[in-house]
Amino acid sequence: MINKRMQGLGEARSVIREIFEYGNRRKREIGADKVFDFSLGNPNVPPPAVVNARIAQLIAGEDQTSVHGYTSAAGAPEVRRAVADYLKNTFSVDMTEDYIYMTCGAAASLTVTLHALLSGGEEVVVIAPYFPEYRVFIEQAGGVCREVGAAEDFHLDLAALDSAIGQNTAAVILNSPNNPTGVVYGEGELRALAALLARKNAEREQPVVLIADEPYRELTYGAQVPQLLALYEHTVVCYSFSKSLSLAGERIGYIAVSPRARGAAQLYAAVCGAGRALGYVCAPALFQRVVASCLGQSSELAFYQTNRDLLYGALTEMGFSCVPPEGAFYLFMQAPEGDAAAFCARAREHELLLVPSDSFGRGGYVRISYCVARETIENSLPAFRALAKSYHL
Ligand code: PLP
C-alpha cells in the first residue's frame, strides 16, 4: 500500500530542482562555464570563520561523547538560553529559553509550527508570490493554503488581507526579506497588519497567529527588518541559519514562540508535541552548539550585494524591469511578454536558467538567484543582452 499523496509529491518534481538537474546535464554536455544557472538558492559564500573555529573547538574538546549525543528534544538548555538572550537583548522583546525550540532549519520550523497550530480544515494565509513549499507544508498539516496577492510593489496589500482573513484563519505566514521578490516589509505596513489582526481578534476566540519565516533576516543591503515579536503578541518566529551562516546542508534553526501569545505555554507544548510526532527527536547536536556562538552573525554580505548591484544594474540598463531587491539573494524580473514559461524557454536557448514565477503563485515574472560565482554573472551578461535584443528591448 502506498500513500498516493506522498507518491504524487515525490513524482511531481519541484520546478526549481528540475531546472537545476537540467543545468547539471547541460554543463556536462557543453562545459560548466557556458551554462548560467540561476535556479537554486544555495549560498555560495563560505560560513564566517567563527563557524569552523567553533566546530574545531567542539570536536577537539573533552566532551567527545555528549557533543554528538541526543540533546533535550527542544534543544540543549544552554543553546536555548543563548538564543533567548540574543533575541531579548537585540530586539528588546520578552523571551526565555522556555519558548525556544531548536529545529532542523526553517522547513522544520514551519512544519512543526503548522502541526502545532492546525487541527484540520483551518486556513493559513500566504502572500503571493510565495515559497512554493508553504502549500505542501500547510496541506500536510491538515490546513488550507489561502493565497492573497501582494500589492503592485510586492509589499503587503492590507485591503486584500482584510477581506481574506476570517473566522477560519489560523495563521498568516510572512517572509521578509522575501523569496522570491527580495522585498523587505517596512515597520509601517507591519504595524498596520498587526492592528488589522488585533481588530479581527476582537471578534474571535483564538487569535490569528503570525508566522515569521525568517531564513533571510540578516541578508539585507541597508533595509531594517522589523522584529515581529515586538510588533504583534501572537507571533511565532521560524528562523534558520541556512542562509545567514551558509549552513543550508547542516539543517539548523529554531522556533521562538512569543511569551505574550495567548496560551503561549500551551502553544509551546504543542510545538514540542508536533516535533515529537513528526519524529525530529532533536536538532543536530553539534550544530546547535555551533550556532549558539554565532548568533546575529552572517557570511560576507558584501559579496551578495556586489552580485545584486551588478545584475540589477545591467538588467535594468538592458531594458528589463526588476523589483528593486532590498534583501535575500533573489531578483524578481518581469517576463517581457508576460508569459514566464515562454520567456524561460527562450532564455534557455541562451543557456540562461531562470525560474518561472508561476510556481510561486504569480505569473509573468522570473526568479534569478544571484547567490552564484561573480564570473557566472559577468559571463552571463552577453547572453542576457542577446535575450533582451530578441525582445526588442
Ligand atoms: N522559507 C523560505 C522563504 C525559503 O526560501 C527557504 C529555503 O530556501 C526555507 C524556508 C527553507 O529553509 P531551510 O533550508 O532552512 O529549511
101-128 average pLDDT score: 98
CATH value at residue 196: 3.40.640.10
Residues of the chain with pLDDT > 90, as a percent, come to: 94
Angle (deg, nearest 10), helices 105-117 and 133-140: 40
30 with 95, same domain: the answer is no
Residue finishing a domain among 250, 276, 292 = 292
Residues of the chain with pLDDT > 70, as a percent, come to: 100
Residue finishing a domain among 292, 321, 356 = 292
- What is the per-residue pLDDT for 62? 76
144-158 average pLDDT score: 98
242 with 344, same domain: the answer is no
- What is the per-residue pLDDT for 64? 76
CATH value at residue 323: 3.90.1150.10
Q: Which domain holds residue 308?
A: 4-47+300-390
* Number of domains, the chain: 2
- What is the per-residue pLDDT for 346? 96
- What is the per-residue pLDDT for 11? 87
Protein residue with least CA distance to atom 8, ligand 1: 41
Residue finishing a domain among 292, 317, 342 = 292
278 with 328, same domain: the answer is no
Ramachandran category for residue 66: left, alpha or beta (phi over 0 → left; psi -120 to 50 → alpha): alpha
182 with 264, same domain: the answer is yes
Assigned C-alpha cell, 13: 518534481
- Checking if the pLDDT of 63 tops 80, the result is no
**Mean pLDDT, the chain, integer:** 96
Q: Annotate 288-326 with b (16+ C-beta within 10 A) or e (fewer).
A: bbbbbbbbebbbebebbbebbeebbebbeebebebbebb
Out of 114, 185, 240, 280, mutate this one to test ligand 1's pocket (max ligand atoms within 8 Å of CB): namely 240
Summarised one tens digit per residue, pLDDT across range 297-336 is: 999 999 999 999 999 999 999 999 999 999 999 999 999 9
CA-to-CA separations, 18 to 52, 128, 203, 354, in angstroms, rounded: 32, 22, 45, 11
If pLDDT is split at 50, 70 and 90, which confidence band does 117 have? very high
Range from 6-15, 158-167, 220-229 carrying the lowest mean pLDDT: 6-15
58 with 197, same domain: the answer is yes
If pLDDT is split at 50, 70 and 90, which confidence band does 189 have? very high
Summarised one tens digit per residue, pLDDT across range 246-267 is: 999 999 999 999 999 999 999 9
218 with 131, same domain: the answer is yes
- Residues contacting residue 44 through CB under 8 Å, at least 6 positions apart: 246, 371, 372, 373
346 with 373, same domain: the answer is yes
30 with 55, same domain: the answer is no
374 with 283, same domain: the answer is no
- Residues contacting residue 115 through CB under 8 Å, at least 6 positions apart: 141, 274, 277, 278
314 with 287, same domain: the answer is no
Assigned C-alpha cell, 34: 557556458
Instruction: Walk across the sheet containing 169-175 and list its strands.
Output: 100-103, 253-257, 235-240, 209-214, 169-175, 123-128, 144-149
Out of 15, 126, 213, mutate this one to test ligand 1's pocket (max ligand atoms within 8 Å of CB): namely 213
